[in-house]
């Protein structure tokens, strides 16, 4: 049986999960794939932390070059995360003739074009299934299972931390801060949760999904990104009363010859499958011409879930090596009908809006008058109970409006003397 040697750079939570799977499933994998996958070296800067798997001391190194320059190693798994030194390690490894498996969505989102090009030029591959949705096989499905399809839309709940917080707020009536604290206590949120809460992590994943579906490797600066930190318990509650759930969605939507790419909190109908995705679970809803509407669902985090995706990539690469074939990671064909990216100012959407206004006659007339000047029509309006400060929440659902017009209207409304707090506007999607 052919033996394929693997080097692992990054022996953290997911890395130790990969070693555990390769150890526990060794015989099963050998029978299924017809090769022996052999871990030859494992690199980490600190081996003192307790893991759920042990390593032979002969495998351990603290210098990534021991793996990168080893001529017997065929595949390198990079699981250290971040951009540097991961980029330098992968670049050097590709130049040394190694195939790569990584879960590093931030690196590929920022430097994917350069790294994919280098891999192709060197006749090597970069596989990255674990970079989006952990164990959900979304990358392989888009790359292979749906290869003949043209895509229309992607709607993704792709950050488990944010989804846990919003689910906790909706189901347990707790505040954002209380839900975030619970996420940290459960180990679902990092000490620095900024990338998750601000939507950056979702944007990195959306870049990869957009590349696979539409052949456009967009820059993160091309994506409108809005996080969930400003979502209040009141908005979650009012949305639920109206028949909606608030989710942080990563959206890529083709409209005629334009592509919208954005990440923001979104109201979706409670009857839609995405609305029932709770906790740390992820879901990616894809619309295509041949396969129709598809939903990919599962845990978006977890040691063995992510490690399962890494092992899947590893097995795919072994088959190409075994056969002596170069299997390019991505045969990306750009959608030539897409001429430009649509800016956020130009999108059109329905909106949920909450105003905090004085409880006095004529307030609603002033608000609706401003909206009318910008061609914005109201679908429904509800006045909630008065607060102790004599300020009343006014909740509106408006018909489809252009983003720029709505923002200009809200800017004027927020300056009215009867409005006591900045208005809240959340986009809506029928999905």
How confident is the model at residue 430, as a pLDDT? Answer: 86
Query: Does residue 51 sit in the same domain as residue 166?
Result: no
328 within domain boundaries? no
How confident is the model at residue 330, as a pLDDT? Answer: 58
Write the CB contacts of 199 (distance below 8 Å, at least 6 apart in sequence): 159, 162, 225, 226, 227, 228, 248, 263, 264
Nearest partner of 35 among 310, 305, 309, 311, judged by Cα = 311
Instruction: Pick the catalytic residue from 87, 205, 247, 254.
Output: 205
How confident is the model at residue 160, as a pLDDT? Answer: 95
pLDDT less than 70: residues of the chain:
326-331, 386-389
Q: What is the largest CA-CA distance in the chain?
A: 83
Query: Does residue 216 sit in the same domain as residue 125?
Result: no
How confident is the model at residue 431, as a pLDDT? Answer: 83
Active site residue 95: no
Nearest partner of 242 among 357, 378, 396, judged by Cα = 396
| Measured distance CA(42)–CA(63) in Å, rounded | 9
Query: Does residue 240 sit in the same domain as residue 163?
Result: yes
Query: Does residue 289 sit in the same domain as residue 153?
Result: yes
Tell the burial category of 47 from Cβ atoms under 10 Å away from its Cβ (0-12, 13-18, 19+).
Answer: middle
Query: Does residue 149 sit in the same domain as residue 292?
Result: yes
Give the CATH number, domain containing residue 307: 3.40.50.720
84 within domain boundaries? yes
| Chain centre to alpha carbon of residue 95 | 30
CA angle at 97 for the pair 77 and 143, rounded to the nearest 5°: 60
54 — phi, psi (to 5°)? -100, 155
**Number of folded domains in the chain?**
3
Query: Does residue 130 sit in the same domain as residue 163?
Result: no
The token pair that represents 259 in the structure block: 């592509």
Query: Does residue 239 sit in the same domain as residue 374?
Result: no
The token pair that represents 392 in the structure block: 């009343």
380 within domain boundaries? yes
Sign of torsion, CA 168 171 172 175? positive
Query: Does residue 295 sit in the same domain as residue 179?
Result: yes
Domain that holds residue 420: 345-428
């Amino acid at each position: 049986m052919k033996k394929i040697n693997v080097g692992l750079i990054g022996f953290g939570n997911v890395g130790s999960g990969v070693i555990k799977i390769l150890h526990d499933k060794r015989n099963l994998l050998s029978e299924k794939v017809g090769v022996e996958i052999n871990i030859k070296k494992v690199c980490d800067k600190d081996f003192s932390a307790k893991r759920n798997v042990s390593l032979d001391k002969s495998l351990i190194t603290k210098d990534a070059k021991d793996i990168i320059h080893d001529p017997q190693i065929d595949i390198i798994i990079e699981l250290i995360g971040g951009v540097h030194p991961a980029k330098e390690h992968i670049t050097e490894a590709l130049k040394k003739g190694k195939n790569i498996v990584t879960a590093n969505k931030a690196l590929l989102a920022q430097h994917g074009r350069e790294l994919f090009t280098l891999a192709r030029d060197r006749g090597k591959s970069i596989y990255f299934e674990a970079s989006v949705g952990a164990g959900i096989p979304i990358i392989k499905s888009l790359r292979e299972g749906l290869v003949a399809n043209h895509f229309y839309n992607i709607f993704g709940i792709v950050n488990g931390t944010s989804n846990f917080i919003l689910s906790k707020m909706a189901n347990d009536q707790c505040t954002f801060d209380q839900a975030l604290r619970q996420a940290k206590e459960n180990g679902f949120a990092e000490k620095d949760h900024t990338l998750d809460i601000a939507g950056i992590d979702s944007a990195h994943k959306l870049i990869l999904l957009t590349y696979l579906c539409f052949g456009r490797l967009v820059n993160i600066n091309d994506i409108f990104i809005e996080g969930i930190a400003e979502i209040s318990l009141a908005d979650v509650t009012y949305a639920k009363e109206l028949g909606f759930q608030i989710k942080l969605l990563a959206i890529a939507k083709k409209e005629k010859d334009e592509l919208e790419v954005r990440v923001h909190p979104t109201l979706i109908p409670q009857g839609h499958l995405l609305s029932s995705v709770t906790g740390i679970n992820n879901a990616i809803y894809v619309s295509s011409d041949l396969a129709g509407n598809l939903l990919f669902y599962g845990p978006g985090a977890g040691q063995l879930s992510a490690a399962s995706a890494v092992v899947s990539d590893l097995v795919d690469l072994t088959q190409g090596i075994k056969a002596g074939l170069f299997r390019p990671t991505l045969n990306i064909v750009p959608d030539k009908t897409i001429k430009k990216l649509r800016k956020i100012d130009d999108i059109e959407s329905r909106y949920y809006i909450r105003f905090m206004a004085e409880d006095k006659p004529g307030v609603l007339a002033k608000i609706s008058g401003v909206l009318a000047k910008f061609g914005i029509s109201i679908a429904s309006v509800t006045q909630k109970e008065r607060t102790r400060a004599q300020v009343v929440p006014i909740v509106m659902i408006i018909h489809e409006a252009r983003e720029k017009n709505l923002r200009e209207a809200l800017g004027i409304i927020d300056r009215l003397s009867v409005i006591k707090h900045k208005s809240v506007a959340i986009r809506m999607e029928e999905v």
